[in-house]
Structure 1
Amino acid sequence: MGITIHFEGKLKNNENFDLLIRKVIEFSQFENWEYFQFENDNKILERVRNDEDWDYEGLTKGIQVQPHENSEPLNFEFDKDLYIQEYCKTQFAEIETHLKIIELIKVIQDNFETLKIFDEGEFWETNDINLLKEHWENFYIAMNEAIEENNELQGPFKMENGRIIDLM
């Protein structure tokens, strides 16, 4: 359930990391999005490959952006090999927020050696706003049906790290 943009890939090199950071900052400033850069000496990144966990532990660096108060943070957090595997849930924000995140990814995609995008709203793949709106509506229908089936369910809940739990 939900509308989430998943992305993973590897940057070309450190110069492209610096370019990506500059582009994200420029885009964020233009959109009035809050952001901050970071570097961690040792962090665990939970990752999945072929439906199996393959977590990373070590140096990370990047930038975090908050596109909308009701979306998850948009993290560009890279490991020591400049690899990233991230996602951003957008369904509690506005459709425009989803579109702007896709626009930002298009702005930075040339900095990647490889980049895979999976957009649950299918906008990345189709550029079809009506299809995205249909997914948006279907999400809320499914959420309301789940609450009707179990009136103890509540949500959404925003966790300390900014991630959002739809219902619990």
Structure 2
Amino acid sequence: MNRKLLLLFLLLGMTLLGCSKVNMLEEKPPNAVIKIKYEMYETTLGTYCWNGKGVSTCVDTAGPIELLEGKKPIKVKPGEKITFVMEYDPKPNEYYVVQIHGNEEHAIEVIDYSFTAPAEKGVYYYSFGVWWMDEKVEHLSHGDAFYAFALEID
């Protein structure tokens, strides 16, 4: 019985050492900002799952509207270019943006980490989802995060 337990601990230790190469260096996902012209604006970190410093953590938060309650939206002009900036290596290799306006929610096309602000006036909420997917093992994520921000088109 002791041999089996020792073997189990050795296998577990080797697995943890092998996985440490894919763990991110931080305890939680990096900050993401949006750039509009020459100005940078913080986003709010929402739900995430992260493998950092040998520990896997998942945090579930409210959606973008609730998460941003009490925060002022970023004022932008119709059609302005919005660019996501993340000073972290490796960069996420998959991303997805959802826009919420009134009772409508839909995906936004993002090209090279950028999209265009809406043409109509109003407040628009966004969820910027990113994934650090393994490049060799299909469907294996090393971390994911959702960032929230709001734009006010005037």
User: What TM-score does the superposition give when structure 1 sets the normalisation length?
Assistant: 0.26
User: Which structure carries more strand by proportion?
Assistant: 2
User: What TM-score does the superposition give when structure 2 sets the normalisation length?
Assistant: 0.28
